[in-house]
Structure 1
């Protein structure tokens, strides 16, 4: 049994052109795997790259995530929920809050032979690359580009937290950046763990700590510039010092626990 899938308006034509508007068609599709299937949570998750030509012959690239019994259990879903269902809901939350993230083309679930199967199809972030990609080339980037990347990343995280949302898996590989003629594009990916958190700053500190600990390249001055941009400050003051102390304290505790 399955319910009607979600199909984005701007993806329906190209999916229909290739006969891929049904759950079964996408589930049975032979597509190029991005990496080895992930076997965990009592199930399996596979991610494939899908290249489709539109009416003009232009190639459009999508990422197809297919899961079987790949579940997360929460108080709201004690029997389990597919992780792509949670990610789909969180992407919709980001869209509602005007937080740049992935663009969903298709989402659907079905129960088949005792398994919960789920599909999430998202558009390729054309021209974007994760922060860790840029970090590998950090010394080759000019000063202005590095500053723009720091400012754009900080602004993206600040927008997330201003909306009372926490990523809860904020690593450099989950922040995507794209140089633009008039600035820098920035988006989040991997939103499976995102949650709204209205009454505590603990999650915000956790996000900042995770990003700080996993960011090897930026200098201490550049890290401070990130925090200044995040807080909307032009210079260090008492509030900035408090935030530096909080993040460093959490980082020290995490490093000690390794």
Structure 2
């Protein structure tokens, strides 16, 4: 195991128990159904659900993601780096900032015959469902549950923006929510494109525009409730009105633009 490889303390024992605590072992793993694959002649990536019993016989659920030559370029990496490397850094940074997101269990990368390969293993968010799922159940949810989901999503995005970050690809499918007796919890997924909000309000508005535009099921009143909770306000004031106008302008501009 390379010194640059990462393995979470709470995953080390269960991975070792199944002989899956190294890059090579996880790369060769083929005993589970492949959930998603993207492949062409030069590059590929796959996602597999991994269920491992711990020493007490209890299942621990993960998602095993592997990629070959799936690269992202940046000023720091002009020749490209595995997108999972970027996602892993974002997961770790979000944990440092206290923004709920997936939990990394293992990460490693290597270069073989000129190919950049990477593995990212994350804990499954089984008790959470994407906001798109909750929208499908929207009419069957009682008022309190809808309110809890709205407030949890608003608190999550507010924490993201208060930390000076933007998601940069914020849609309902990227907000994972759970309901329990104490309200709702939320986590943010798909962090590959996240970045600092260099443009301040303009970047925050961009995130909100994408999310609210795709929230077809929510009523205007529910969207307003989300926005006020996000702003930390009890009613619409001059600041909130101006932000809503900017979001509305962005949404209309997007709707009018050619496909």
Please indicate the TM-score interval, normalised by the length of the shorter structure: over 0.9
Change (3 A) 1:117 1:163: same
Query: Where does residue 13 of structure 1 map in the other structure?
Result: 13
Deviation at 1:5, TM superposition (A): 1.4
Separation (CA, whole Å) in 1 of partners of 2:235 and 2:40:
46
Instruction: Judge conservation of contact 2:145–2:183 (CA < 8 Å) in 1.
Output: no
1:33 corresponds to: 34
Cα pair distance change 1:61/1:154, threshold 3 Å: same
Q: In structure 2, how many angstroms separate the alpha carbons of the residues matched to 1:168 and 1:88?
A: 16
- d(CA) in 2 for partners of 1:42, 1:208: 36
Q: Distance in 1 between matches of 2:28 and 2:185?
A: 35
Root mean square deviation, CA, Å: 1.5
SS at 1:51 equivalent: strand
Secondary structure of the residue aligned to 1:62 is strand
Contact 1:171/1:210 (<8 A) preserved? yes
- 2:155 alignment partner in structure 1: 155
Q: Deviations over 1:190-235 (max 9, x none)?
A: 0000111255222111110110111110000000000000000001
Partner residue in 2 for 1:58:
58
Q: CA deviation at 1:32?
A: 1.7
Counterparts of 2:99 and 2:38, CA distance in 1: 28
2-structure distance, mates of 1:3, 1:52: 25
Secondary structure of the structure 2 residue equivalent to 1:77: coil
Residue of structure 2 equivalent to 1:114:
114
Matched ranges for 1:179-194 at <5 A? 179-194=179-194
How many residues end up aligned between the 2 structures?
Answer: 257
Superposition deviation, residue 130 in structure 1: 0.3
Alpha-carbon distance, 1:3 to partner: 5.4
Q: How does 1:79-98 map to 2 (within 5 A)?
A: 79-98=79-98
Runs of 5+ consecutive residues of structure 2 not aligned to the other structure: none
Runs of 4+ in 1 over 3 A off after TM superposition: 1-4, 39-42
